[in-house]
Amino acid sequence: MSFLLAPFSLKSLDLPNRVVMAPMCMYCSGEDGLVTQWHRIHYGARAIGRVGLIIQEATAVEKRGRLSPNDLGIWDDGQVKGLKEMVELIHENGSKVAIQLGHGGRKARPGKQGTIAPSGIAFSKDFSTPGEMENKDIKSVLNAFKEGAERACEAGYDAIELHGAHGYLIHQFLSPHSNRRQDKYGGNLENRLRFPLEVIKVVKGVMPSEKVLMIRISAVEYFDGGYSFADMLRAAGAFIDAGVDVLDVSTGGAGLSAPRVWPGYQVPYAQKIKEELGAPVIACGLLTEPGMVEELIGNQRTDLVALGRALLRDPNWVLNAASELGENNIIPKPYKRAYPEDI
């Protein structure tokens, strides 16, 4: 069996292969944050295409935490029904699904509502200046993450991922660039870790012990004044100690600086974290070819590989990779005529 098609198991999460669909915002919901037909077709198609694990787009735990007024939401009990139906659709077609719980903080664009952040610093001139979070705001957001996790469990997701990357709220607390607080939530790394660890604690507190918890992290920030990779190694270790099972390793997003990119440009960070911490990792970053994924898994540089744009372009990426690798046995029966084995 090829490496990318090898199964992966952790706690109650049993994946048919090592391919993950990275969470990508669709901006296809309404102000109500409800699932639409677009979401059902979009995620259902990737399940038919045999993606091992689909990570649903960042789903807002608070209305004021949406990255746009058209983000999916999980801040209200009325949103659970549609999410549950979508989970069942994905399961019926052979994939497992995680939900990414998110809060945009100062990068949110919720519409008429104001935004909040660790410090009252705008992300850029194109974003509003957020209100600095008071203790009551911190407690409210922690409760929103807890209730979001409860609803996610009710909807039947196979795993939960916290969005701690790309300059959103959890990342904002971690970064000295966006966190200028003088209280117990700001200053040294230990203090800046306090809010992310509190989020992990409240979410773990309502999850079944066998359900996998993941967190997406930005390994580096690409500018002076941010945290170092050594800082993130310490933070990632603290996340594992707090009960996180899988580290989904990305980079950047806290500032306007953008890196040069090339195929696999983020993989070394995931590999180093895996080597240093011994924890399962997901690698990502312009990974497009089956051969690339085979090498990463086969050489144990990562446990899982997340594809983003490649799966937007081709919902059947896994099927095509399987055919290329001579493993047509995973092709769904209705599609087998498209992959004749005698060609």
Residues 6+ apart with CB under 8 A from 59: 71, 72, 73, 74, 83, 99, 100, 101, 102, 148
Question: What's the rounded mean pLDDT across residues 195-217?
Answer: 98
Instruction: Convert the pLDDT of each residue in 333-342 to its tens digit.
Output: 999 999 987 5
DSSP state, residue 72: -
* Separation CA 217–CA 69 (nearest Å): 24
Question: What's the rounded mean pLDDT across residues 144-161?
Answer: 98
Domains parsed from the chain with CATH numbers: 8-338 (3.20.20.70)
Residue 205 is predicted with a pLDDT of 98
Q: What's the predicted TM-score (pTM) here?
A: 0.97
Question: What's the rounded mean pLDDT across residues 193-218?
Answer: 98
Q: Per-residue pLDDT for 2 more than 90?
A: yes
Q: Per-residue pLDDT for 284 more than 60?
A: yes
Q: Residue 19's pLDDT band (boundaries 50, 70, 90)?
A: very high
Q: Per-residue pLDDT for 213 more than 50?
A: yes
| Phi, psi at 178, each rounded to 5° | -110, -10
Residue 341 is predicted with a pLDDT of 73
Question: What's the rounded mean pLDDT across residues 231-245?
Answer: 98
* Separation CA 330–CA 343 (nearest Å): 17
Q: Per-residue pLDDT for 343 more than 50?
A: no
* Separation CA 260–CA 77 (nearest Å): 42
